[in-house]
Structure 1
Amino acid sequence: MPIGGKISSSAAVVAASPLDQVAAEVTAAWAGHDAPPEAIVFGHDLRAGLSLPVTEIREYFAAVVVLRWPRLRAPAETEIAGRARAAVGHGARAMLDGLHPELAWTGSALELRYPHQHGRWSLDGHHLTLLPTGFAGAEVYALPDAPTGRTLWYAPRGHGMLRLPGAPQPSSAALLGSSRAAVLALVEAPYSTGEVAHRLNLSTGTASHHLTMLRDAGLVVAVRDGRRLLYQRRPLGDQLV
């Protein structure tokens, strides 16, 4: 589906939310804080209150997200693929390792280490959804007690590659060239030559050349997976990215 269709569909879902649910979630979100006028309106006119975020979501998407969609999507997809491989190959603990500097798995609980905030939450039978997003910045955000599920928002590895048009190129691009730097940024999770070529719109020969050069420079490692050869960044490559 085109990205315009995605936002129209998502905005339609928001607009169709039960008004009592919307009111409860807005009230909970501002508990203990001075609510802005946009939130106060929910107390006396739910439909008017809901129409504002739907309109603003559409406007923000058109002004910001559409122009940067490929750069927003690629790190998130890479993060999801890498975490899934870690979970399948080594279990849930490996999937959570290195997720975020403020998160730590103790063996029985996932700790979010913010010194001025305290609380304990249980999954209560719900799944925990990990949501990598280019909009989290350096923080990790938790939705720990929503009736519909539990969620953690965090920045995926490689989110630092996201930048406004015209901003300075990252050091990896300056050293390697933009195409090879894009390859290095992508292979945070293991990818084959064909997958790299497809995701970055390169020819297979070009992708193979870049991967070979990065391997010879010690920035990526090649691992045999059945009949496929998968490439993944080494720690030195992580530091450069």
Structure 2
Amino acid sequence: MPQKPGRPPRGVLTQALATPAGKASYVRALFDEIAPRYDDITVWLSLGRDAGWKDVLVRMAAVTPGERALDLACGTGDIAARLRAAGADVTGLDLTHRMLRLAAGKPELAGMRWVCGDMLALPIPDASQHVVTAGYGLRNVPDLRQSLREIRRVLVPGGRFLSLDFTLPRQPLIRATYLAYLRVVGGVVGQWLHGDPDTYRYIPESLARYPGAGGVATLMREEGFTQVSWWPLLGGLMAVNVGQARRTPH
């Protein structure tokens, strides 16, 4: 049995996110810590909209029955379950063993394939997936460009990639208000549930360092994706990035 990561140290969030290695270590320990509360937290912080956004993501994936799909940062399996219901042959991948154990324990997900792996080095064969999805995953990787390269590698030519995540509004005042809201709410919820306000302050701190949906779209084009676009949700506070793996070598 893998050793459980230690609880993220208190008061070190800013320092932890300052380097790729620090972020990788912090994220692994953080998600192990919050795994039992993960489903509830996504509902609370999204004001109950999370399920609808995931429905949109899977509809946009336009899965054909029998296609192979890989759900990255699968957590407890919400998107993976929707992909399977749409007819895909699904593998769920997450960095955190505890998340995968919770997903595998859900009766409705019985028989699903689960893989513990890193989005920077996917343990998945080249050109083997028709669809790759990520729910709140790209924002958490320490090297976004490398993660996109790995996603491109495992997609068949013409395969689709879709990512759902927070993004930053373009207007400076709205952006600042949004981040302040997430810091306050995250701090209160983190203190209440875990005795550590930094637990959910991770979301706005990671978001402040994230290029947002537009920046992700630019990186996707640079890393060999075509038909790249992004779609705002919740008035531009959330977004779905979409792209296809290039059909021929660049």
Same fold per superposition (TM over 0.5): no
TM score, norm. by length of structure 1: 0.30
Query: Relative CO higher for 1 or 2, CA cutoff 8 Å, sep ≥ 6?
Result: 2
